[in-house]
């Protein structure tokens, strides 16, 4: 643990109305495959297989060890308490708790039970995601999210787990970022399972949305005292010029990235328009699906990292590409533009267009490649990023958006999917060779901000 004195850490200056602990919560998030390790205790998942493909992961790594979080969870939970977090968001590994025959595995579930009990005793809320991309490999071998049956298997898993953990979980998140699972996993193939195919993204997305709706019903029946929601990654889309073609491309990007998910969930229908209609001819929809998908949500989790700049020239028909960005803006180690105004913009856009349930910012964070030096990580840029985004969030709240909480991504440095371990998002540094944890300067600033609250 760091011995740095508080006075040495730059303060996070955050508007007062975010500092009322009765109306706004602060947490940090992780996901199972990215931190857990211990693959021998579970069935294989699609990322185990994907990581073996040459060139799939930038540094050739995988999640087999990661942060060894199942071995170190008590130490990590002590750090959560030391930071003063109100809530911890983590995910359950589907292939750890369900065996090859679809039965609940008591030993796989035991660790999550202990974690939830520990959080409950400490008065820390738990935000539990059921699917953060680690589909059991056996299910992928039967078509994965292109197969409608996977939605029913997911609902069965959700039912079993929410029955077993009833009364322990504050908020259930069914899926994390279905756009990534669908589009990156089945359309462009840059994420697991690495499938490529036109319209496969929307086909997978339909089954993911259906899985969400079925699971939400099952969780509500099994654990009526909890809250149920879903987590989407949203991005405001800005045309790079006012030319008609660029504006049209930007609208298409907005529709495919944001509204393809929000509109079914909140309005029970896919977006309108010629492009949407053309795509929908490839989506295997059945009667009643849209009603199932549009379950009432107790909260909507939104993840925000960067805006998307759109140019018609980069459009291959209905595709879009994030564009090079405005000259003087800061780019993080992922190559992502840091633009806090984008968070405010997207929140206001969604507030104007939909009747939103209470919103949680379930992920937001900054990537660098900084290593610890003499036991300290001076990650000024991360503190700057957090402050900018909390300021933008406060402005969105003042303009009427009902946001109830904010989770920094991530609690710990971890396995960053195709980037492997080269990119670090944590408030806490992880030395992967020794598994030592060090609270970064940004983590200490977050801790101080939380300590200053009423
Ligand atoms: O690490 C990921 C996380 O798993 C999902 N949201 C985005 C993060 C940063 O890429």
* 54-76 pLDDT tens trace: 999 999 999 999 999 999 999 99
Q: Which residues are catalytic?
A: 177, 363
Ligand 1 centroid, distance to 286 Cα (angstroms):
32
1 pLDDT more than 80 = no
Ligand 1 centroid, distance to 281 Cα (angstroms):
31
* 132-189 pLDDT tens trace: 999 999 999 999 999 999 999 999 999 999 999 999 999 999 999 999 999 999 999 9
2 pLDDT more than 60 = no
> Which atom of ligand 1 lies at the shortest distance from residue 176's CA?
5
Give CA angle at 202 (238, 47), nearest 5°: 95
6-453 folds as TIM Barrel (3.20.20)
pLDDT value, residue 9: 60
pLDDT value, residue 374: 97
Pocket test for ligand 1, best of 176, 177, 420 (most atoms within 8 A of CB): 177
Ligand 1 centroid, distance to 190 Cα (angstroms):
14
> Which atom of ligand 1 lies at the shortest distance from residue 410's CA?
1
> For ligand 1, atom 1, which residue shows the shortest CA distance?
416
Over residues 88-117, mean pLDDT: 98
> Which atom of ligand 1 lies at the shortest distance from residue 419's CA?
10
Q: What is the pLDDT confidence band of residue 11, given thresholds at 50, 70 and 90?
A: confident
pLDDT value, residue 4: 46
pLDDT value, residue 39: 98
Instruction: Give the β-pairing of 428-431 and 436-439.
Output: antiparallel
Q: How far is Cα 126 from Cα 298, in angstroms, rounded to an integer?
A: 15
> For ligand 1, atom 4, which residue shows the shortest CA distance?
31
- Inter-residue contact 26 to 405 (CB < 8 Å): yes
Of the chain, the percentage scoring pLDDT greater than 70 comes to 95
> For ligand 1, atom 10, which residue shows the shortest CA distance?
416
Range name among 96-110, 270-284, 324-338 with the lowest pLDDT average = 324-338
| Residue closest to 333 by CA, chosen among 58, 73, 128 | 58
> Which atom of ligand 1 lies at the shortest distance from residue 133's CA?
4
Q: Which ranges of 235-312 does DSSP label H, i.e. alpha helix?
A: 244-254, 260-267, 274-280, 289-293
Q: What is the pLDDT confidence band of residue 329, given thresholds at 50, 70 and 90?
A: confident
Ligand 1 centroid, distance to 127 Cα (angstroms):
16
Ligand 1 centroid, distance to 413 Cα (angstroms):
11
- Inter-residue contact 442 to 451 (CB < 8 Å): no
pLDDT value, residue 312: 87
Q: 134 CB less than 6 Å from ligand 1?
A: no
Q: What is the pLDDT confidence band of residue 6, given thresholds at 50, 70 and 90?
A: very low
Top-confidence residue, 5 or 408: 408
Q: 413 CB less than 6 Å from ligand 1?
A: no
Q: 31 CB less than 6 Å from ligand 1?
A: yes
User: What residue ranges do the domains of the chain occupy?
Assistant: 6-453
> Which atom of ligand 1 lies at the shortest distance from residue 416's CA?
1
Which pair of structure tokens corresponds to residue 23? 């109306």
Q: 416 CB less than 6 Å from ligand 1?
A: yes
Ligand 1 centroid, distance to 417 Cα (angstroms):
8
Q: How far is Cα 296 from Cα 72, in angstroms, rounded to an integer?
A: 37
| Residue closest to 39 by CA, chosen among 108, 105, 131 | 108
Q: 363 CB less than 6 Å from ligand 1?
A: yes
Of the chain, the percentage scoring pLDDT greater than 90 comes to 92
Which pair of structure tokens corresponds to residue 4? 């740095």
Q: How far is Cα 307 from Cα 293, in angstroms, rounded to an integer?
A: 27
105 pLDDT more than 60 = yes
């Amino acid at each position: 643990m760091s011995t740095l004195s508080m006075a040495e850490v730059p303060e996070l200056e955050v508007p007062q109305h975010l500092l009322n602990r009765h109306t706004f919560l602060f947490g940090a998030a992780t996901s199972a495959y990215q931190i857990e390790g211990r693959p021998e205790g579970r069935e294989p998942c699609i990322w185990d297989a994907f990581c073996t493909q040459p060139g799939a992961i930038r540094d050739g790594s995988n999640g087999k060890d990661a942060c060894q979080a199942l071995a170190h969870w008590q130490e990590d939970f002590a750090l959560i308490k030391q930071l003063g977090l109100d809530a911890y968001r983590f995910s359950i590994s589907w292939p750890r708790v369900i065996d090859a025959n679809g039965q609940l595995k008591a030993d796989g579930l035991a660790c999550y039970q202990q974690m939830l009990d520990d959080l409950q005793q400490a008065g820390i809320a738990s935000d539990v995601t059921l699917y953060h991309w680690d589909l059991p490999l056996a299910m992928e071998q039967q078509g994965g999210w292109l197969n409608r049956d996977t939605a029913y298997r997911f609902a069965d898993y959700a039912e079993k787990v929410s029955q077993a953990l009833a009364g322990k979980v504050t908020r259930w998140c069914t899926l994390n970022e279905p756009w990534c699972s669908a589009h990156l996993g089945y359309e462009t193939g840059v994420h697991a399972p690495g499938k490529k195919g036109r319209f496969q993204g929307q086909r997978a997305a339909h089954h993911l949305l259906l899985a969400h709706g079925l699971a939400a019903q099952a969780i509500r029946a099994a654990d009526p005292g909890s809250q149920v929601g879903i987590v989407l990654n949203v991005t405001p889309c800005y045309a790079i010029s006012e030319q008609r073609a660029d504006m049209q491309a930007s609208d298409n990007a907005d529709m495919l990235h944001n509204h393809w998910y929000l509109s079914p969930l909140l309005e029970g229908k896919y977006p309108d328009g010629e492009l949407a209609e053309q795509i929908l001819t490839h989506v295997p929809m059945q009667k009643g699906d849209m009603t199932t998908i549009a379950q009432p949500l107790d909260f909507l989790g939104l993840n925000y990292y960067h805006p998307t700049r759109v140019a018609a020239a980069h459009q291959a028909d209905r595709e879009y590409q994030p564009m090079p960005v405005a000259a003087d803006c800061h780019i993080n180690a992922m190559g992502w533009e840091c633009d806090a105004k984008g968070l405010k913009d997207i929140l206001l856009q969604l507030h104007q267009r939909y009747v939103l349930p209470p919103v949680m910012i379930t992920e937001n964070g900054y990537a660098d490649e900084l290593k610890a030096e003499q036991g300290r990580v001076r990650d000024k840029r991360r503190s700057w990023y957090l402050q900018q985004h909390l300021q933008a969030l406060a402005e969105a709240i003042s303009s009427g958006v009902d946001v109830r909480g904010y989770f920094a991504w991530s609690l710990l440095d971890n396995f960053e999917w195709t980037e492997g371990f080269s990119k670090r998002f944590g408030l806490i540094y992880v030395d992967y060779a020794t598994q030592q944890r060090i609270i970064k300067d940004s983590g200490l600033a977050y801790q101080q901000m939380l300590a200053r609250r009423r």
